[in-house]
Amino acid sequence: MTDEIQNFDEFIAWLEQDGLSAKKSKRLWRKKIFTNLVNNESKTIENYEDFLLHKKLKNIVGKSINYQDIVAIICDYKITMQYYVFTTYISKYVIKVKIDSLDDFIEKCIDSTMSQHEY
């Protein structure tokens, strides 16, 4: 339950960072967003899914990658219409991953036990 609350707090912060904010009461605004999530309101669910994707991609930055003879650390990403494009430190490789292949890429190519701080 604590993780869900923390995730909701991060979602609210992400929305605020994206320019959304309460017009009158932050407490009521948060309550409305929570209610919309529980009731599967389509725009709120779409925003929440975007938030989860952003969080997943952000968590990849700094991780070691082993992909097609490339062993490097991911330093940045961007999203295009068809790909997630990752750049790496030092070697400056650019790796394109199809939108629908992200989870498979993470599972097979990202070393979650090693980060840039261990080099």
Query: What would the pLDDT profile of 90-107 be if each residue is shown by its tens digit?
Result: 777 889 999 999 999 999
51 and 7 co-located in one domain: yes
Query: 3-state class of 93 per DSSP?
Result: coil
Q: Tokens 């097979």 appear where?
A: 108
For the residues 5-24, what does the mean pLDDT come to?
88
67 and 42 co-located in one domain: no
71 and 113 co-located in one domain: yes
Number of domains in the chain: 2
48 and 66 co-located in one domain: no
Locate all alpha helices (DSSP H) within the chain, ordered by sequence. Answer: 2-17, 26-38, 42-60, 102-109
78 and 110 co-located in one domain: yes
For the residues 32-61, what does the mean pLDDT come to?
92
96 and 112 co-located in one domain: yes
Check whether 114 has a pLDDT greater than 70: no
For the residues 50-61, what does the mean pLDDT come to?
92
